[in-house]
Amino acid sequence: MSAPSRSRAVPYEIVAIGASAGGVKALLTVLEALPADFPVPLVIVQHLDPRHDTVLAELLGRRSRLRVKLAEAGDVAEPGVAYLAPPDRHLLVGPGGELRLSERDKVRFVRPSVDLLFESVAEAYGPAALVCVLTGTGFDGSAGARAVSSHGGTVVAEDPSTAEFKGMPQAVVNSVAVDLTLPLEGIADALVALTGGTRSL
């Protein structure tokens, strides 16, 4: 009989997810496996074409038991809701879960930036932050993951060997001591177990 998991001194209060190439399919896989009573908010950056409006929130919402919406400035992140960065806007999270949108310069050639989202979550939530990097090309998310780790938060990466595009998760694995590296199909269960306190690292 295995010993029960140790409970964390600080429970998680938010999950932030970053994805790029291949990310729509990956986000569908993760979000459709999360329960409607998921206990914390989710904030998501998926790199999108800045020249077009997006129907991604509607697409994900049709397949998810969570409420999925494009983030709006002044929203306060609520449990069981997934907030997507709109095209061509950085999404930042402030104290108390207040969402902010920014048109500041692109970071590593992208806006929205996973790095900026993760860095804001690290500052606002410290060890209560849980972030996850999914499929994508490039390096976005690695600097933000370092910030989360240095503030005591938890970093999860999709296994680069099984990701559709391994660039982003591999960059995170190379730059920080990732807490969990999982195939895409195992990420939702891990998020549920970690936020529910039934899985320790």
CB 57 within 8 A of CB 70: yes
Distance CA 31, CA 71 (A): 16
Q: Coil, helix or strand for 14?
A: strand
Distance CA 86, CA 80 (A): 19
CB 62 within 8 A of CB 94: no
28: exposed, middle or buried (Cβ count in 10 Å: 0-12, 13-18, 19+): middle
* Residues that are catalytic: 20, 47, 140
Query: Sign (positive/negative) of CA torsion 115, 120, 121, 125?
Result: positive
CB 195 within 8 A of CB 40: yes
4: exposed, middle or buried (Cβ count in 10 Å: 0-12, 13-18, 19+): exposed
